[in-house]
Each structure stands twice: as structure tokens, then as C-alpha cells.
Amino acid sequence: MYRENIIEVENLVKKFGDFTANDNLCFEVKKSEIFGFLGANGAGKTTAIKILCGLLFPTSGKVMVAGYDVYKKRHEIRKNIGYMSQGFSLYEDLTVKENIEFYAGIYGLKRSEIKTRFEDLVQKLGIDELKNKFVRDLPLGWKQKIAFSVAIFHKPQIVFLDEPTSGVDPITRRQFWDLIYEAVESGITVFVTTHYLDEAEYCDRVCIMAEGRIDAIGTPDELKARFQSKNMDEVFVKIARGK
């Protein structure tokens, strides 16, 4: 099945002084797939995601997101993406509703549109009791789900998730992934970084990073076959040992 590329990265390099955070990355992401970026802390995942979102300038290389060049068309890119950072930066002193209304307003959604989409969301997540609570009073799992809902509220083409599930229990993580699948079904491409290897199994394709470089890339099944492993855990260990 042929699908067009929504992200294209060629020879991406990002240096901070002498330190090379991203060393010659090459990959592409297809439309409507879940693309996982896997790696230990400090492997360069967050740097790469920030470059794709237009938060950081690349040092060199070609980066196209949603058909736009990150050097020249960051404003166009921003209109077409959603982003959820590690710190899932909702405003703690605003309520769930106020946060959503604020971001939706910034993306230029009409008031009536915000209203209907918000009502749908409340129903879907079952947050009728939570919607008028301050974000600071919510449990971590809910903060993450709501941050994700904010990131896709304006129906972007791509959503970037930077370690969205760190720090919560497996059940909450599973629920979070249900939300991700739902987003993909509606046509959103998901770019997710994680250091949970079991989550790699949920991705259509994964890319394993270490020390700023891409060590392997492919579907979970391909990788398991190539490294003769039962699961992604083993794949990861074998790649790490192979060095």
C-alpha cells in the first residue's frame, strides 16, 4: 500500500556547541501512521521532535514537515501540527475547559465549533465532573489525556508526542494509547517518542536511536525478524550489545 510521506528528514544534524545531539538522521513518516522514536534518555529524541515542531533550528540537513520546509515555513508547519511535550504544558491555574478554549481559540477555531467539539470531548472522555476543575487538581493520568486532547483539538495533520506516558501506571498508558488509535483513525499522523519498549509494539514503524544516531528503523515485526527476537525488548538489547 502506497502512502505519501508527511515528514521527510535527510541528513539532519543538530549540534549544541561540541555536543552532537542529532547525528545525520534520515527517515520519513507516512501519512496516518504511528511512528515511534525509541531510545534511552539523552538519545536525542526530544531534540529531533523539537526540530520537527519548529522549536529548534537544525544545524544542517533537509527537514520537511507536512510539505513545508522547517527553515522557511515554520508558521505554515505550526498551523498543521499539534504538540504535547514531556511537561504536557497545560496552564495549571486554568480549568480544563479554559485551557481547551484558549488553545482552540489560538488555532482560530470558531466559537460554535469549539463548543460542539468540546461537548463531544467531554462525552468521549467522560469528564463532565472534571471540566471545570483546575488542571493542577487533576491526577497525572488525566492531565496527560487532556494535554493530548488539546494537542489534537484543532485536528492537525500530525501530532507530536514527546514521552506522553511517562510516569503513569500501565492501565492508564493503555487508555492513552486507545486515544492515540482513535486519532489515527480520524486521519492524524502520530509521531511519538518513548522509552517504554512495550509501547514500541503499538507503533506501525519504529526508529531506534542511541547517542544521537538512528540504529535501526522498520516495523516491529521486521525488527524482531532481523534481530531474531521475540519482542522489542530483546531487539533493543541486541542493538545495544552490537555496538
Q: How far is the CB of 114 from another protein (least distance, A)?
A: 11
Least distance between another protein and beta carbon 93 (Å): 5
Amino acid at residue number 142: W
Query: Considering the rule CB under 8 A, would residue 56 count as an interface residue with another protein?
Result: yes
HSE (side-chain half, CA atoms, 13 Å) at 135: 20
**Residue 157 is a binding residue for another protein (CB under 8 A):** no
153 lies in the site for another protein, by CB under 8 A: no
User: Can residue 6 be called a binding residue for another protein (CB under 8 A)?
Assistant: no
Establish if 189 lies at the interface with another protein (CB under 8 A). no
Among 72, 75, 230, 241, indicate the residue that binds another protein (CB under 8 A). 75
Q: Is 83 in the site for another protein (CB under 8 A)?
A: yes
CB 96 within 8 A of CB 146: yes
Site for another protein contains 230 (CB under 8 A): no
Tell me how far apart the alpha carbons of residues 32 and 34 are, in angstroms, rounded to a whole number.
7
22-28 contacts, C-beta under 8 A, 24 or more apart: 22/47, 22/48, 22/51, 22/58, 22/212, 23/211, 23/212, 23/213, 24/61, 24/213, 25/61, 25/213, 25/214, 26/214, 27/207, 27/214, 27/217
Least CB distance from residue 16 to another protein, whole Å? 11
Asked whether position 55 contacts another protein by CB under 8 A, the answer is yes
C-alpha cell at 196: 517504554
Name the CA dihedral angle for 198, 90, 45, 172, rounded to a multiple of 10 degrees. Answer: 0
Q: Closest separation between CB of residue 51 and another protein, Å?
A: 9
Interaction of residue 181 with another protein, rule CB under 8 A:
no
Q: Which of 93, 119, 120, 137 is in the footprint of another protein by CB under 8 A?
A: 93
Chain positions contacting another protein, by CB under 8 A: 53-57, 74-75, 78-79, 81-83, 85, 87, 89-94, 98, 102-103, 105-108
